[in-house]
Amino acid sequence: MRDQRNQAGGFWVASTKPEAALQAVQLTVPAEQLRRAAVLTDGACRLVERFHLLDWIDLIKMLDTEGPAELIRRVRAAENTIDPAPGSRGKPHDDATAVLVQLRVAQRQCGDEGGAFT
């Protein structure tokens, strides 16, 4: 795996090479279209990327309904029961952090002369 780390076509690890953060996937979405956002470490993404037990939409739905603790519980259960292809495992357990941010769009109150938002 070392020959794949921090290389084009491989994967990026900012903990060993801070400039790897420049390779982060980024996307711009108009605020009015955004309802929620998740910030996940690679360990928390294992259900999608390594074990293929969920797709990204289902992962976000699970975070929304069951919370980050349940995501991490399922990641740990998969790590303990699923053996990926030989030689591809890397660490048996990886750091797993998940944050779900739910956004509420401010709406102008009708008849409020001060233009307050709620």
- pLDDT of 112 strictly over 60: no
Going by pLDDT thresholds of 50, 70 and 90, the confidence category of residue 118 is very low
**% of the chain with per-residue pLDDT over 90:** 32
Quick: pLDDT tens for 64-96. Answer: 999 999 999 999 999 988 866 555 556 667 789
Q: Match 């998969």 to its residue by tokens.
A: 78
Q: What is the pTM of this model?
A: 0.67
More confident residue, 113 or 69: 69
Q: What residues pair up with 102 in beta bridges, in sequence order?
A: 36
| 16-29 mean pLDDT | 81
Burial class (CB in 10 A: 0-12, 13-18, 19+), 28: exposed
- pLDDT of 63 strictly over 80: yes
